[in-house]
Amino acid sequence: MTASQVIGARIRAARATAGLTQEQLAELSGTSTRTVRDIEKGTGSASLRVVARVAEVLGLELVAAG
């Protein structure tokens, strides 16, 4: 699994736990439903800023590891 897919899976799980639809998460994070869908699938080209905002809405924090 790629890093993008791992992040997407964690965002999807957090969204489900929060009881939110992709549409609701998109609205709360100020992005499109398509962008949320692409982030969750680990595809697309969402900026780090957008991914961080989506994660923040869910109470998640992105941390760089290396």
Q: Smallest Cα–Cα separation from 54: which of 5, 6, 14, 1?
A: 14
Q: In the structure encoding, which two tokens stand for residue 39, read together?
A: 């982030």
Per the confidence metrics, is the pTM higher than 0.85? yes
* Superfamily of the domain at 3-57: lambda repressor-like DNA-binding domains (1.10.260.40)
For the stretch 16-60, pLDDT in tens is 999 999 999 999 999 999 999 999 999 989 999 999 999 999 999
pLDDT of residue 9: 97
Q: Is it the case that residue 66 has pLDDT exceeding 80?
A: no
Residue 21 is encoded by which pair of tokens?
């639809």
